[in-house]
Amino acid sequence: MHRLRVATSILGLVAVWQLIVLLKWVPDTYFPSPLATLQALWAGLLSGELSKALAQTASRALVGCIAATVVGIGLALLTARYRRLRQAFDPVAEFLRPLPPAALVPMAIFFLGLGWKLHGFILMFACLWPVYLNASSALKAVASVQLRTADSFGYGGWDRVLRVQLPAALPEIFIGIRIAASIALIATVVTEMLAGRDGLGFVLNEAAMTLRIPDMFAALLLTMLSGLVLNAVVLAVRRRAVGWHVGMTASNRG
The piece of 80-88, 93-101, 172-180, 194-202 that touches other proteins (CB under 8 A) is 194-202
The piece of 72-80, 161-169, 190-198, 231-239 that touches other proteins (CB under 8 A) is 190-198
Decide: is 212 part of the binding site for other proteins (CB under 8 A).
Answer: yes
Decide: is 46 part of the binding site for other proteins (CB under 8 A).
Answer: no
What is the per-residue DSSP string for the chain?
-HHHHHHHHHHHHHHHHHHHHHHTSS-TTTS--HHHHHHHHHHHHHHSHHHHHHHHHHHHHHHHHHHHHHHHHHHHHHHHH-HHHHHHHHHHHHHHTTS-HHHHHHHHHHHHTTSHHHHHHHHHHHHHHHHHHHHHHHHHTS-HHHHHHHHHTT--HHHHIIIIIHHHHHHHHHHHHHHHHHHHHHHHHHHHHHH-SSSHHHHHHHHHHTT-HHHHHHHHHHHHHHHHHHHHHHHHHHHHHHHHHHHHHHHHH-
How far apart, in whole angstroms, are the C-alpha atoms of residue 103 and residue 230?
A: 25
The piece of 131-139, 150-158, 173-181, 193-201 that touches other proteins (CB under 8 A) is 193-201
How far apart, in whole angstroms, are the C-alpha atoms of residue 223 and residue 225?
A: 5
Decide: is 48 part of the binding site for other proteins (CB under 8 A).
Answer: no
Query: Least distance to other proteins from the beta carbon of 96, Å?
Result: 22
Pair 199, 188: CB distance under 8 Å? yes
Q: Indicate the residue among 107 and 224 with the shorter CB distance to other proteins.
A: 107
In one letter, which amino acid is 71?
Answer: V
Query: Least distance to other proteins from the beta carbon of 128, Å?
Result: 23
User: What size, in residues, is the chain?
Assistant: 254
Q: How many residues bind other proteins (CB under 8 A)?
A: 25
The piece of 84-92, 102-110, 135-143, 159-167 that touches other proteins (CB under 8 A) is 102-110
Q: Indicate the residue among 8 and 210 with the shorter CB distance to other proteins.
A: 210
Binding residues for other proteins restricted to 26-45, rule: CB under 8 A: 27, 29-30
Q: Indicate the residue among 145 and 209 with the shorter CB distance to other proteins.
A: 209
Decide: is 200 part of the binding site for other proteins (CB under 8 A).
Answer: no
**Of the candidates 197, 224, 240, 253, which one interacts with other proteins according to CB under 8 A?**
197
The piece of 66-74, 156-164, 173-181, 198-206 that touches other proteins (CB under 8 A) is 198-206
Query: Least distance to other proteins from the beta carbon of 201, Å?
Result: 10
Q: Indicate the residue among 127 and 195 with the shorter CB distance to other proteins.
A: 195
**Of the candidates 14, 208, 220, 233, which one interacts with other proteins according to CB under 8 A?**
208
How far apart, in whole angstroms, are the C-alpha atoms of residue 24 and residue 43?
A: 25
Interface residues with other proteins (CB under 8 A) are: 27, 29-30, 106, 109-115, 193-197, 202, 205-212
